[in-house]
Structure 1
Amino acid sequence: MSVAADPSQKLTAPNSVTNYSGLIGSARSWLTARLSEANPHLVLLCKNKRSAEEFAADLQLFVGDARRIILFPSWETIPFERVSPQLDVSAERLAALHYLESGEPFILILSAEAISQLVPNQESLRSRTFTLNPGVHSFEEIARKLAAGGYSKVSIVEEIGEFAQHGQVIDLYPALCPHPVRLKFEEGRLSRMDLFDAESQRSLAAIESLNVTPVREHRFTRDPRTDLQSEIERIKTRAAELDVPLRDVNEAIKAISEGHDLPGIELLHLIAKDDFQALFSHFSSDTLLVVSDPHGVEQALDDLWLNVSQREEQLSREHYLIPPKQQLYSSPEQIQALSRSFARANLNQLDLRDERGDSCTIKMRSLSNAELKTRLKTKIGSGDAYQ
């Protein structure tokens, strides 16, 4: 049986479940901070985006700089909608996946929707991530890798995910970098890198190394090494299954062949390629999965899957070119099965037990802010607070 009366104890046994009950308000954040002390790789699952953001804000007070807290967003789009996720959202997700690969300590906070969405596998992510060092890379090589990573070529760099070429200079705004970076070349080789201010264009500081992660999760390129014909055939096969109008099929094939972006082109990528998998595949075996309000999370997963299923059925009847739902989301049953590979801690307000796996329950005592305020007023009024 998993025993963790001391929350600073490391929890590693796969499929073990420790239920903490009696947690009110910020007590959940305090306990999560304590759990992270012995569990350097911690994933915190909340029922929705708002809960995740509020938990992250509270947790920062208890953790400080001891752990890197990463909010992992969902696409924030309607399932199968022909709209691409915002570039900063995709960039943030990919940068987070890259950090998980580093092995450094982290607390990853995400919603039920975010953990349901499939993500690029490790091979796909690594193939489009690269490190820049002066004297190593050529001008043409960097420009090609930026295009493969989904960076947009513009005249002036202002936003994350953009790059511009001016003679022997490339301006680049990498994912989650505090400032854009100016790459200077001599005789076609990278010679210097400087952070610069996007408004004034003034250099801020020289840097010696830069990790560049992709900013789009899905990208069709005109790289000759890509088996483009195979991807087109998969698009045609799926289109035939759904009886998609020929006009829409030709538009999709043209976009893929010419490397152009269409709104919602991510859906075509999921049809044409099989390089996406569950987010769990990026977690190391010693990851601790912490679930805040397990009942709420379970309900959110069920509601999302129902919505996804209904949308898939509706759009299939209307002959839209969409991937099967299993290529875009994990089902609640799949998420439950995948979670069994990790130690798990449930954070409950009430005494609700999860009997799955090797389970134990620890009752804790905590008070809400209102109760603390009332007790403090009582103590001050009686003079006990000054004893």
Structure 2
Amino acid sequence: MNSPLNLSSSRLAPAASLPTLPRLLPQPPGVNRKAVAPPLMGSSDALALAQYATSAAERGEPIAVVCAEALAAQRLAEEIAWFAPGLRVATLPDWETLPYDHFSPHQDLVSERLATLYRASRGECDVLLVAATTALYRFAPPSYLAAFTFFLAQGERLDVDALRSQLALGGYQHVTQVVAAGEFSVRGGLIDLFPMGSALPYRIDLFDEEIESIKSFDVDSQRTLYPVPNVRLLPAREFPQDDAARTRFRGRFRELFEGDPSKSALYRDISNGVTPGGIEYYLPLFFDATATLAEYFPANATVAIHGDVGVAIERFWQDTESRYRLLRGDPARPLLPPHELFLPVDEFNGVLKPFARIELPETPARLAERATQALPPLQVDRRAGDPLHALKRFATSTRERVLIVADGLGRRETMQQYFAEYGFKPAIVADWAEFVRGDASPALAVGPPHAGFLWPQGGIALVTEA
């Protein structure tokens, strides 16, 4: 019942939801092999990935998109979901901290990461987008999430004391009023609980020892919203906090670092059950072995490399090694070497090698080699007698059907009124699928694409405000 922040939980809609068009991406030649896509202009990269993912999802094959930039991953997530709304699209966010920082990532980010990793491990993502630098991290093994995730359902018997202990082991905090993910409160027969990976908290009403009802509630007003049959509880951290994990941490700490561990505040905090800020950069000490992100993918997944990932990884490693040399001298807080926390380049390439791979390069190509083209200049010229002359001339002269995209309903209404003042009246369409199924041109819709493109083979020109 819990829906993570950037994940569509709907199952893939029928294939008709994405009308049949020429394919922009090649099919990889198989596992351990890669294909290189022709350069794609504007937001046609998102369209290409949406097409590929739709076909792959029908075969039960997810696609993981590793992006050179975090902003590109976020953009693609929004645009892919627009081009193919039936796909389950997820973004794995970064911690948004620098390596070896002394503070921990925001709990909302941890919540979203845990939910996305859990869904990926269960095959519930059709498209997973991640920045290359995030993909370099070493992760908790999938077995950790499986072991520390549990469900509560209406009608089940519930031992409140056992639940308290289980939540504490999962890293949840007991509070007087629940306002953030990873918190819970017990007041007699009422239990308020904000699961990690959930957009809303839940109120569990007990009758004796039976769960009588489960309802979501609003954090601000604390009023219940609607009933749900069950809730999923993920751990509150990306590492275990039980006695066995603390013992493992202390043992690994003594193995890796010289000197008296009792002089380290970090060591003492973990021994006393306290979670210090920045403990995420000691994550490998909580496990016998960590995992790579690739271990959350099934063997039949495709990996798409978007942009100049090699340059992004090289820059990350230079910055990380520089920070390690700068900060490693503190005996109270000794640092793990970078290779213990992040995948070196050779290891990163090695874990991706078994998958079918597609590269979407940013390298400029000759016009004839591009699958999609840049649009001609279409800017509004407010000094001209007809500010829309370039757009109107293009819409009437091009062989391609023209779809103009506004970034919101209000903006669409403003554009429609402005267009009408100069005799330009595009048809209103609900979305991409309606435009492609129909024959209207020019047309006006609402959507997230950030940059337009000309697609001669598909017979479409997408025009955005940017």
Structure 2: 5+ residue stretches without partners = 1-21, 380-388, 401-440, 443-466
Find the counterpart in structure 1 of residue 173 from structure 2.
152
Q: Cα distance, 1:185 vs. partner?
A: 2.2
1:114–1:187 CA distance, 2 compared to 1 (3 A)? same
**What letter is aligned with 1:204?**
L
1:281 has 2:295 as partner: yes
Aligned counterpart for 2:56 among listed residues 32, 39, 61: 39
Query: Residues 95-244 of structure 1: matches in 2 within 5 Å?
Result: 95-134=115-154, 135-222=156-243, 226=244, 228-240=246-258, 243=259
1:74 to 94, 111, 129: 94
Counterparts of 1:231 and 1:246 in 2: how far apart (Å)? 13
Range with greater deviation from structure 2 (100-109 or 72-81): 100-109
Single out whichever of 34-43 and 189-198 deviates more from structure 2: 189-198
For 2:67, the aligned partner's letter is C
Q: Which amino acid aligns with 1:177?
A: S
Equivalent in the alignment of 1:305? 317
- Structure 2 letter corresponding to 1:277: A
Letter of the aligned partner of 1:98 in structure 2? Y
Which structure has more RCO (C-alpha within 8 Å, separation ≥ 6)? 1
In 1, Cα distance between the equivalents of 2:29 and 2:215? Answer: 43
TM-score between the two structures when normalised by the length of structure 1: 0.85
3-state SS, counterpart of residue 143 of structure 1: helix
Q: Say how many residue pairs are matched.
A: 364
Partners of 1:292 and 1:377 in 2: how far apart? 34
Change (3 A) 1:7 1:244: farther
Residues 240-276 of structure 1, C-alpha deviations (whole Å, 9 max, x = no match): 1xx57853x2x23332222111111223442343342
1:15 corresponds to: 32
Deviation of the 1:381 alpha carbon:
7.2
| Counterpart code for 1:265 | I
Q: CA deviation at 1:279?
A: 0.6
Query: Structure 1 residue 10: deviation in Å?
Result: 6.0
1:299-349 per-position Cα deviation (integer Å, ceiling 9, x unaligned): 001111122222223333443322232231111211111111111111124
* Structure 2 CA distance for aligned equivalents of residues 90 and 384 of structure 1: 48
Deviation at 1:156, TM superposition (A): 0.4
State which drifts further: 317-326 or 127-136. Answer: 317-326
Q: Does 1:326 align with 2:339?
A: yes
Q: 1:384 to 1:91 in 2, by over 3 A?
A: closer
Structure with higher Rg: it is: 2
Tell me if the contact between 1:44 and 1:290 (Cα under 8 Å) persists in the aligned partners: yes
1:367 corresponds to which of 373, 385, 393 = 373
1:344 to 2:357 alignment: yes
Please say if residues 136 and 190 of structure 1, whose CA atoms lie closer than 8 Å, have aligned partners that are also in contact: yes
SS at match of 1:210: strand
Specify the code of the residue in structure 2 equivalent to 1:368: A
Q: Deviations over 1:263-296 (max 9, x none)?
A: 1122344234334211111100111111111xx2
Residue matched to 1:358: none
8 Å CA contact 1:23–1:350 kept in 2: the answer is no
Task: Name the structure with the higher helix share.
Answer: 1
Mean Cα deviation higher: 196-205 or 297-306: 196-205
Partner amino acid, structure 2, of 1:311:
R
Check conservation: 1:24, 1:367, Cα contact below 8 A: yes
Q: Secondary structure at the match of 2:31?
A: coil
Find the counterpart in structure 1 of residue 405 from structure 2.
none
Q: Which moved more, 1:333-342 or 1:189-198?
A: 189-198
Change (3 A) 1:91 1:381: closer
Hey, what does 2:385 align to over in structure 1?
A: none
**Cα distance 1:348–1:237, how it changes in 2: closer, same or farther (>3 A)?**
closer
- Let me know the Cα RMSD of the aligned residues: 2.8
8 Å contact kept, 2:26–2:36: no
Residue 42 and residue 372 in structure 1: after superposition, are their counterparts in 2 closer, same or farther (change >3 A)?
A: farther
User: Percent of aligned pairs with the same residue?
Assistant: 23
Please give the alpha-carbon distance, in whole angstroms, between the structure 2 residues aligned to 1:237 and 1:18. Answer: 44
